[in-house]
Amino acid sequence: MEKSMAEMQQEVDRYISQFKEGYFSPLSMMARMSEEVGELAREVNHQFGEKPKKADEADNSIELELGDILFITICFANSLGIDLTEAHNKVMHKFTTRDADRWTKINTD
């Protein structure tokens, strides 16, 4: 089932809102995000780098690690009242204007 970013933010908020602890503080969320990015780096290194997994290591995946990063990103945004769709639109505007001629485009005549 396809979900919009707004629907994902609402879904995460419903999940977090059922717990007394609620969202972590911004500093704790930053630490969690850093941890998750490190776990993604480890998986990428195992799959594409020179460091194979140990025989007893858990079978994680890049997909799951990216999902963890998305979840913590949504938590972080929700805790600060940030609309991620709006944030995405602002970032895309920045890239399409600032970097409009930075890269070689496909099919340019």
Count the neighbouring beta carbons within 10 Å of the beta carbon of residue 45: 13
pTM above 0.95, yes or no: no
Q: What are the pLDDT digits (tens) for 17-37? A: 999 999 999 999 999 999 999
pLDDT at position 109 over 80 = no
Alpha helices (H) along 18-83: 26-48, 62-80
Domain ranges of the chain: 5-98
Architecture of domain 5-98: Orthogonal Bundle (1.10)
Residue (of 15, 6, 4, 2) closest to 82 by Cα position: 6
d(CA 87, CA 61): 27
